[in-house]
Amino acid sequence: MGITALAKDQMKIVVDLNKKQIVEAPDTNLTIIQPISQAGAGEVQFQRKLEKAQSSYSIMMWLDDSFTDAKGEKHKMLTEGLSQRGHGVSTKDDTVEDNYSYNFGEKALDYPQPLTIEIKEYWNPIMETQTVELFSKK
């Protein structure tokens, strides 16, 4: 499978909740879609379509359980019920859709926009060949 990596400054998703729009993301594969089931106010459904995915189990995105508004104030995501959940669906042999709900809560609609979520884990494979030189201490 190889390695996955993402630059530290890319480990965030910036969302304008009122516009239901991604302002900044690690790549162009991440979008906001209409949820399959009815979503509460302040809840968004993220989707990533990944081609050439080698395993649907390794691609799940993990997000922090708090977010920061445009003024730098930290807030906790809504914790009633399942406020953060994700699942992967294989759409064809090597393509996977990773769907992920995140509930900012209804009050977040009134927070200064945009809102920033820190990413804990994001599948971003490095496909080119890499070499590492190892040295031993004697």
Q: Is 33 helix (H, G, I), strand (E, B) or coil?
A: strand
Asked whether residue 71 carries a pLDDT value surpassing 80, the answer given is: yes
Q: Which of 122, 137, 76 is nearest to 103 (CA)?
A: 76
pTM: 0.77
Give me the percent of the chain exceeding a pLDDT of 90.
41
SS3 content of the chain, % helix, strand, coil (to 5): 5, 45, 50
Q: Which two tokens stand for residue 74?
A: 């930290």
Tell me, what's the pLDDT at 84? 47
Q: Which of 67, 62, 65 is nearest to 123 (CA)?
A: 62
Tell me, what's the pLDDT at 138? 75
Class of domain 11-126: mainly beta
Single-letter amino acid code for the residue at 46? F
Stretch 50-75: mean pLDDT: 80
Any idea of the CA torsion for 52, 122, 17, 100, to the nearest 10 degrees? 60
Tell me, what's the pLDDT at 83? 41
The answer, yes or no, to whether the previous bond of 35 is cis (omega within 30 of 0) is no
